[in-house]
Amino acid sequence: MENFSADTRRIALDAMGGDMGPTEVVAALQLALREFSDLCPVTIVGNEAELTPLLQQANLLDHPKVALLHASEVITMGDEVMTAIKRKRDSSMIKAIELVKNGEARAVVSSGNTKILVSAGTLKLRTLAGVERPALSPVIPREGGHFILIDAGANPDARVTHLVHNAILGSHYAQLELGVERPRVGLLTIGTEEGKGNSLINGTHESLKALGDLVNYVGPVEGFQVFFDHVDVIVCDGFTGNICLKSWESLSKFFRNELKAQMLSTPVRRLGGLLAKGAFTGLRHRIQPERYGGAPLLGLRGTVLKAHGSANRYALMNAIGDASEFIRVDFTSRIESDIERANKILRPEPADAKTP
Amino acid sequence: MENFSADTRRIALDAMGGDMGPTEVVAALQLALREFSDLCPVTIVGNEAELTPLLQQANLLDHPKVALLHASEVITMGDEVMTAIKRKRDSSMIKAIELVKNGEARAVVSSGNTKILVSAGTLKLRTLAGVERPALSPVIPREGGHFILIDAGANPDARVTHLVHNAILGSHYAQLELGVERPRVGLLTIGTEEGKGNSLINGTHESLKALGDLVNYVGPVEGFQVFFDHVDVIVCDGFTGNICLKSWESLSKFFRNELKAQMLSTPVRRLGGLLAKGAFTGLRHRIQPERYGGAPLLGLRGTVLKAHGSANRYALMNAIGDASEFIRVDFTSRIESDIERANKILRPEPADAKTP
């Protein structure tokens, strides 16, 4: 096992936060090392006594790309945000974030408590120059592909500037994650006619139009267009985004349960279901893709990837792979110049403003 | 055909606004008269030259419960709100609303342009005493039953008072439509811990708690709980509600398309799909129920029922039946005393406020 300060292009992996426990995290790390040949080195953070035998079993204890950092505490789903950040300094999540803060790593991957990860990430890593608030941006399946929802809950009381920054952050992320050269960016609202949203939406709409070629802004997007091939990035405030994301997950589960109940209700349907089993598996893979294991918290001086609390080893493996990719392309520094340009357009220098 | 001013307990039916045209509306009326023996009389409003042969074919021209009111114009989906209300005074929708305004009917049913129906209904009928804004409240299927979403888009820039009124309106509607004696009311937000929403949510949460037994308020509801058996009424602002409702519809379509594509992709799956056909029909009926053909615009001095633009005859039939039920139970007047009590709790009399 190498000295984890030797290469700062490394990933800090919180082993303790998820519902599935450290066994699943170690399995994910093993898969990631196998799957991604150029994976950045990883420091796995968590209880040494629990992790050592798991790493040994997985033949990772002496792996050149794996380091272990002991953390005696665990942040749970029931912890209060500020109490956890202040008191649980020796928790795996906080210590993983500290590694990035101290320059010993560049990305954190955690499936722990979202609110605490967002708050601790923001407080400790701070936002990029010119960015006021970070944004959580999951990848969601839709007709013919995927879109990025930004913000899914990091910033519920958003202002126009925040939404404009979300458009830039989401655009860069879509290039990286979806491989779209010029991602179409839409603003989530309730009417596609100009001036038909609320004041936040109207202000953001005008500002996005003013950005010119900085963002490929295609205009407002209404709810009924979300799951069809209209845009690659959907910009919204964190309140709307979080309710949408969570209610979509809830609706998906409801569908699955209802369909299952319908399929099992007669012997003929059960036989039909058996024959068509592959279709349901195919749909499940399409709708809840493990390919996108983590939603990044964009806009910080460092990468924070939030994996779903119930992320299994494959989802986590992909989150680890994504973190490595963020580091490889130096994602955060690519954004700063665009944010600076946008801020100049949105808030011209005082000298300009005073010109008669 | 009777004189339509003889009984004010009647329904004004806009025959022209929907995507399916007047043929479907006349068919719906015919079905409603057959299905609901105590249906209130109906004035069908639209182009006489088009409607007369349709009514004749349906044997409704001399029906004792059917009257026809000519309207020369039609409001389309592309019409501007204020222009339509000012200029298209002889449109079927505006004339139907005028019947209620003039006391010649008590309920309007229309599947026309939602924005114009909401605006014209509000301007012409005005809100109930103590109510500031109306709210659109569709019925949505969920695990084990249905819930009412209020507001689905009438009032995108909502304040605390509006959301509190939505709780009362939605509660009464759930009693009528879902048959629940003491409907559980929840406030849609992003965190179930107190004080974890935005300022609108926090203020509404406190006010709802202060209402005591006026509303069976069970607390905040998060997105992930929406489609499970937590509450009967979900209160939210019209911006969030509209985006949710429309994106849920969009997600349902996406699911259906994806599942269909999966089912048709191999011969074995196709056979399975054929055997299990009943399950898909069952799911469709469960998810897109025509039983709830119209979403009422609650809080006005008169009933306005908005049917989906693409509502077929069965959905419209049920909207007509619902309108009759609203009239029968004198729905609007039942609400005013509760609103008055709520307003006294929220805004005590100046005399009380000055008491040291």
Q: Which of A96-100, B10-14, B164-168, B308-312 has the lowest mean pLDDT?
A: B308-312
When scoring B255, B256, B286 by the number of chain A Cβ atoms within 10 A, the one with the most, hence best to mutate, is B255
- Angle formed by the axes of helices A277-287 and A238-263, nearest 10°: 170
Q: A150 and A279 share a domain?
A: yes
Q: B140 and B288 share a domain?
A: yes
pLDDT computed for residue B354 by the predictor: 44
Nearest to A190 among B153, B251, B259 (CB): B153
Check B246 against A240: CB less than 8 A apart.
Answer: no
Give bridge partners of residue B145 from the DSSP assignment: B142
Q: List phi, psi (to 5°) of A170.
A: -65, -35
The amino acid sitting at A168 is I
Q: Outline where chain A has alpha helix (H).
A: 22-35, 48-57, 81-87, 92-101, 114-125, 160-178, 199-210, 238-263, 267-275, 277-287, 313-328, 331-346, 350-354
Q: Which of A186-190, A330-334, B235-239, B252-256 has the lowest mean pLDDT?
A: A330-334
Which chain B residues have a beta carbon less than 8 Å from that of A198?
156-157, 239
Q: What is the mean pLDDT of residues B188-192?
A: 81
Nearest to B143 among A246, A254, A277 (CB): A254
Nearest CA in chain A to B194: A80
Q: What is the mean pLDDT of residues A329-354?
A: 81
Q: A156 and A207 share a domain?
A: yes
Q: What is the mean pLDDT of residues A97-113?
A: 95
Q: A166 and A271 share a domain?
A: yes
Cβ–Cβ < 8 Å for B93, B115: no
Check A239 against B240: CB less than 8 A apart.
Answer: yes
Check A283 against B255: CB less than 8 A apart.
Answer: yes
A190 in contact with chain B, both atoms CB, cutoff 8 A: yes
Cα–Cα distance for residue pair A227/A249, rounded to 1 Å: 13
Q: B145 and B126 share a domain?
A: no
pLDDT at residue A153 greater than cutoff 80: yes
User: What percent of chain A clears pLDDT 70, i.e. is strictly above it?
Assistant: 92
Q: Indicate the SS3 state at residue A242.
A: helix
Question: Which tokens hold the place of A89?
Answer: 């300094």
Q: Measured in whole angstroms, how far is the alpha carbon of residue B156 from the centre of its chain? A: 16
Check B247 against A223: CB less than 8 A apart.
Answer: yes
- Angle formed by the axes of helices B267-275 and B238-263, nearest 10°: 120
Min distance B198 CA to chain A CA atoms (Å): 6
Cα–Cα distance for residue pair A73/B25, rounded to 1 Å: 66
pLDDT computed for residue B356 by the predictor: 41
- The domain boundary, picked from B269, B293, B317, lies at B293
Nearest CA in chain A to B277: A269
Q: A174 and A96 share a domain?
A: no
B224 in contact with chain A, both atoms CB, cutoff 8 A: yes
Q: Outline where B74-154 has alpha helix (H).
A: 81-87, 92-101, 114-125
Which chain B residues have a beta carbon less than 8 Å from that of A263?
276, 279
Nearest CA in chain A to B240: A240
Contacts of B12 (CB under 8 A, 6+ apart): B42, B43, B45, B69, B95, B96, B97, B99, B100, B104, B105, B107, B108, B109
A355 in contact with chain B, both atoms CB, cutoff 8 A: no
Nearest to A190 among B143, B242, B282 (CB): B242
Which chain B residues have a beta carbon less than 8 Å from that of A230?
none
pLDDT at residue B348 greater than cutoff 90: no
The Cα diameter of chain A in Å comes to 81
pLDDT band at B140 (very low <50, low <70, confident <90, very high): very high
From the CB of residue A209, how many other CB atoms can be counted at a distance below 10 Å? 12
Say if B44 falls within a structural domain.
Answer: yes
Query: pLDDT tens for residues A15-49?
Result: 998 888 899 999 999 999 999 999 999 999 999 99
Give me the residues of A, 238-297, that contact B with CB < 8 A: 238-240, 242-255, 257-259, 262-263, 265-266, 268-269, 271-280, 282-283, 286-287
* CATH for B325: 3.40.718.10
Q: Which of A181-195, A309-323, B66-80 has the lowest mean pLDDT?
A: A181-195
Question: Which tokens hold the place of A218?
Answer: 């295609």
pLDDT band at A353 (very low <50, low <70, confident <90, very high): very low
Do strands A185-189 and A233-235 pair parallel, antiparallel, or not at all (unpaired)?
A: parallel
Check A227 against B247: CB less than 8 A apart.
Answer: yes
Check B223 against A246: CB less than 8 A apart.
Answer: yes
Q: B163 and B112 share a domain?
A: no
The Cα diameter of chain B in Å comes to 81
pLDDT at residue A206 greater than cutoff 50: yes
Cis peptide before B19 (omega within 30 of 0): no
Say if A346 falls within a structural domain.
Answer: no
pLDDT computed for residue A355 by the predictor: 43
When scoring A77, A119, A157, A224 by the number of chain B Cβ atoms within 10 A, the one with the most, hence best to mutate, is A224
Do strands A145-150 and A233-235 pair parallel, antiparallel, or not at all (unpaired)?
A: parallel
Say if A195 falls within a structural domain.
Answer: yes
pLDDT computed for residue A66 by the predictor: 96
Q: Indicate the SS3 state at residue A110.
A: strand
Query: pLDDT tens for residues B54-112?
Result: 999 999 999 999 999 999 999 988 888 888 889 999 999 999 999 999 999 999 999 99
Min distance B263 CA to chain A CA atoms (Å): 5
Q: B143 and B281 share a domain?
A: yes
Contacts of A212 (CB under 8 A, 6+ apart): A345
Min distance A38 CA to chain B CA atoms (Å): 35
Cβ–Cβ < 8 Å for A88, A113: no
Cβ–Cβ < 8 Å for A127, A134: yes
pLDDT computed for residue B324 by the predictor: 96
Nearest to B121 by CA among B134, B105, B137: B134
Min distance A77 CA to chain B CA atoms (Å): 12
Check B190 against A275: CB less than 8 A apart.
Answer: no
Min distance B114 CA to chain A CA atoms (Å): 11
Check B279 against A273: CB less than 8 A apart.
Answer: yes
pLDDT computed for residue A310 by the predictor: 76
Question: Which tokens hold the place of A309?
Answer: 């609390």
Give bridge partners of residue B298 from the DSSP assignment: B135
Cβ–Cβ < 8 Å for A58, A26: yes
Query: pLDDT tens for residues A64-76?
Result: 999 999 999 999 8
Contacts of B51 (CB under 8 A, 6+ apart): B15, B22, B26, B44, B68
Say if B288 falls within a structural domain.
Answer: yes
pLDDT band at B349 (very low <50, low <70, confident <90, very high): low
The amino acid sitting at B58 is A
Min distance A101 CA to chain B CA atoms (Å): 27
Check A190 against B252: CB less than 8 A apart.
Answer: no
CA triple A313-A318-A323, angle to 5 deg: 125
Min distance A301 CA to chain B CA atoms (Å): 26
Half-sphere exposure of B156 (CA within 13 A, CB side): 20
Nearest CA in chain A to B251: A227
Burial class (CB in 10 A: 0-12, 13-18, 19+), B173: buried
Say if B68 falls within a structural domain.
Answer: yes
From the CB of residue B145, how many other CB atoms can be counted at a distance below 10 Å? 11
Cα–Cα distance for residue pair B247/A17, rounded to 1 Å: 31
Give bridge partners of residue B45 from the DSSP assignment: B14, B69
Give bridge partners of residue A11 from the DSSP assignment: A42, A107
pLDDT band at A349 (very low <50, low <70, confident <90, very high): low
Q: List phi, psi (to 5°) of B57.
A: -55, -35
- The domain boundary, picked from A264, A293, A322, lies at A293
pLDDT computed for residue A209 by the predictor: 95
Q: B182 and B51 share a domain?
A: no
Nearest to A344 by CA among A241, A210, A254: A210
Say if B261 falls within a structural domain.
Answer: yes
pLDDT computed for residue B291 by the predictor: 60
B222 in contact with chain A, both atoms CB, cutoff 8 A: yes
Q: List phi, psi (to 5°) of B142.
A: -145, 175
Contacts of A267 (CB under 8 A, 6+ apart): none
pLDDT computed for residue A290 by the predictor: 55
Q: What is the mean pLDDT of residues B221-234?
A: 96
Cβ–Cβ < 8 Å for A226, A203: no
Cα–Cα distance for residue pair B307/B290, rounded to 1 Å: 10
Question: Which tokens hold the place of A216?
Answer: 């490929």
- The residue segments making up the domain with residue A13 are 1-131+299-332
Q: A105 and A168 share a domain?
A: no
Query: pLDDT tens for residues A216-270?
Result: 999 999 999 999 999 999 999 999 999 999 999 999 999 989 999 999 999 999 9
Residue with tokens 């029909």: B281
Check B266 against A278: CB less than 8 A apart.
Answer: yes
Could you give the dihedral angle defined by the CA atoms of residues B175, B180, B182 and B187, in that order, rounded to the nearest 10 degrees? -80
Query: pLDDT tens for residues B322-340?
Result: 999 999 999 988 899 999 9
Q: What is the mean pLDDT of residues B118-146?
A: 94
Into how many domains does chain A fold?
A: 2
Which chain B residues have a beta carbon less than 8 Å from that of A273?
272, 276, 279
Which chain A residues have a beta carbon less than 8 Å from that of B204?
none
Residue with tokens 């956890």: A84
Say if B336 falls within a structural domain.
Answer: no
pLDDT computed for residue A356 by the predictor: 41
Q: List phi, psi (to 5°) of B334.
A: -70, -25
Q: Measured in whole angstroms, how far is the alpha carbon of residue A98 from the centre of its chain? A: 19
Q: B120 and B257 share a domain?
A: no
Cα–Cα distance for residue pair B251/A296, rounded to 1 Å: 23
Element (H, E) at A1: none
Give bridge partners of residue B42 from the DSSP assignment: B11, B66
A344 in contact with chain B, both atoms CB, cutoff 8 A: no
Question: Which tokens hold the place of B318?
Answer: 């049920």
Check A287 against B157: CB less than 8 A apart.
Answer: no
DSSP classification of residue A152: S
Cβ–Cβ < 8 Å for A319, A307: yes
pLDDT at residue A7 greater than cutoff 90: no
Chain mean pLDDT for chain B: 90
pLDDT computed for residue A292 by the predictor: 67
Could you give the dihedral angle defined by the CA atoms of residues A141, A142, A147 and A153, in that order, rounded to the nearest 10 degrees? -70
Q: B144 and B125 share a domain?
A: no
Nearest CA in chain A to B283: A259
Burial class (CB in 10 A: 0-12, 13-18, 19+), B299: buried
Say if B334 falls within a structural domain.
Answer: no
Element (H, E) at B126: none
pLDDT computed for residue B7 by the predictor: 66
Nearest to A262 among B197, B263, B279 (CB): B279
Nearest to B242 among A223, A269, A276 (CB): A223
pLDDT computed for residue B289 by the predictor: 56
Question: Which tokens hold the place of B317?
Answer: 């039939």
Element (H, E) at A144: none
A203 in contact with chain B, both atoms CB, cutoff 8 A: no
